Amino acid sequence: MRECDLVVIGGGPAGMAAALKAYEEGIKDILILERAETLGGILEQCIHTGFGLHYFGEELSGPEYADRFIEEIYKTDIDIRVDTMVLNVSADNVVTACNNFDGLLQIKAKAVVLAMGCRERPRGALSIAGCRASGIMTAGTAQKYVNLDGYMPGHEVVILGSGDIGLIMARRMTLEGAKVKAVCELMPYSGGLTRNIVQCLEDFGIPLRLSCTVVKTHGKDRLEGVTVANVDKNLKPILGTEEYIPCDTLMLSVGLIPENELSKNSGIDLDPVTNGPVVDEYRETVRKGVFACGNVLQVHDLVDYVTEESQIAGEGAAKFIKGEKEYGGYISTKGENGVRYIVPQRINKATDKDVKLYFRVGKVFRNVKLVVKCGDEIISSKKKNKMTPGEMEYVPIKLETIKALPENGVITVTIEEA
């Protein structure tokens, strides 16, 4: 059986950043396994700009952002297998994969980084009445058709869900000559970044209908239209508000789900809120030597943060391989009062660094205080003008603070009135 120091599953932004960081930290025997034909992951189809402002201080498109890392990888002797599907990660870190070139591959790894990314929530996960007419697809599928395959999936479009991919596609379809008739959002607020509402919808006069959903699709072979209706505060359609909108395409942008089939089959604990593995401050899962980063861990808003997180995982994996990762007791973290979750879910007391706690809120908050506590003791308190569910937030915790906390202590991040 082939042996390898580090196997990275997934060659998108997360996998590439983790591999490069581990390489920089002295781990040279690295193998990246990628399901698609090329490295780069979903960035290859995200041709709009806005990537890299934090990390590179430049406004890059998705393929350009990916290319920076691909070029770096090519300069190293990191081994890459594309077109390769990972089937299993065993309890003793044997990775089983297959492709047309090697057939079945089995690799015994000292450490594994899970960087499989996420996928879109499909229509099957929503209950919309109607036939399985063609013309109904996720926004990401439409993005692939237009940006990689070079063809337009329709001319008159309704978008359900105001996630960023849906907003980006509203603009893309409009620029290519399609008419986007409405973006319907079930919630009373958008799930996307504010800048995307401005430059993808408002710029083109595309209406954003909040508290509104699609209740029925019409057409048998090809979509002919949809019926939309407003919803009440329990998110139930209000009788009498139905409206028919003719269209040949319905795009869904209703959320992303981390792809954790491998993690689950491998018996790695998942957080029920993030749907990603439970990790410590180096993004090590409950299985020693298995790390997770990027959208498989938590759905990010910006790729820059994926890179940052993946470098932490890469550094952690390198420390683990070199036998330098310390283990003490754990301090756990938790969110309260609208803070939906915290990543990392636990912090090693023996850690050697400051830790950033990442989270998302469950609704829009204005003029509040973000408070970090342990028991009754307040660790930090910061005023926040605005927090929205579409944006990832973080609070820093200093190493001294962690060292001073009791073992089995709980750090709580909460929102209070200002």
Partner 1 sequence: MTKRDLICVSCPIGCAITVELDDNNEVISVTGNTCPRGDKYARQECTHPERMLTSTVKVEGAKLPVVPVKSASPIPKEMLFDCMEEINKVSLTAPVRIGDKVIENILGTGVDIVATNNAL
What residues line the site for partner 1 (CB under 8 A)? 44, 47-50, 53-54, 59-61, 63-64, 67, 146-150, 175-176, 193-195, 197-199, 203, 301-302, 386
Q: Which is nearer to partner 1, 143 or 266 (CB)?
A: 143
DSSP assignments along 13-60, one per residue: HHHHHHHHHHHHTT---EEEE-SSSSTTGGGGG--SEEESTTTTSS-E
Q: Which is nearer to partner 1, 52 or 409 (CB)?
A: 52
Closest approach of Cβ 138 to partner 1, in Å? Answer: 19
Q: Which is nearer to partner 1, 43 or 89 (CB)?
A: 43
Closest approach of Cβ 111 to partner 1, in Å? Answer: 32
Closest approach of Cβ 43 to partner 1, in Å? Answer: 10
Closest approach of Cβ 73 to partner 1, in Å? Answer: 15
Closest approach of Cβ 145 to partner 1, in Å? Answer: 11
**Tokens 């209908």 — which residue?**
209
Nearest alpha carbon to residue 273 among 362, 192, 365, 390: 362
- Cis check for the bond before 344: say yes or no (omega within 30 of 0): yes
* Partners of 386 in beta bridges: 366
Nearest alpha carbon to residue 246 among 157, 173, 144: 157
Q: What are the start-end ranges of the H helices in 148-214?
A: 164-175, 194-196
Q: Which is nearer to partner 1, 233 or 383 (CB)?
A: 383
Helix axes 164-175, 139-147, angle to 10 degrees: 40
- With b meaning 16 or more CB within 10 Å and e meaning fewer, what string describes 74-101? eeeebebbeebebeebeeebbbebebee
Dist. CA 281–CA 248, nearest whole Å: 47
> Residue 377: CB partners within 8 Å, gap ≥ 6?
none
Helix (H) or strand (E) holding 390: none
Closest approach of Cβ 364 to partner 1, in Å? Answer: 13
Q: What share of the chain is helix, strand, coil (3-state, %, to 5)?
A: 25, 35, 40
**CA 113 to mean position of chain CA atoms:** 16
Closest approach of Cβ 6 to partner 1, in Å? Answer: 27
Closest approach of Cβ 68 to partner 1, in Å? Answer: 10
Closest approach of Cβ 304 to partner 1, in Å? Answer: 8
Q: Which is nearer to partner 1, 203 or 324 (CB)?
A: 203
Q: Which is nearer to partner 1, 113 or 370 (CB)?
A: 370
SS3 399: helix
Q: Which is nearer to partner 1, 42 or 215 (CB)?
A: 42
* Partners of 304 in beta bridges: none
Q: Which is nearer to partner 1, 59 or 243 (CB)?
A: 59
Two tokens, residue 230: 């407003």
Q: Which is nearer to partner 1, 166 or 316 (CB)?
A: 166
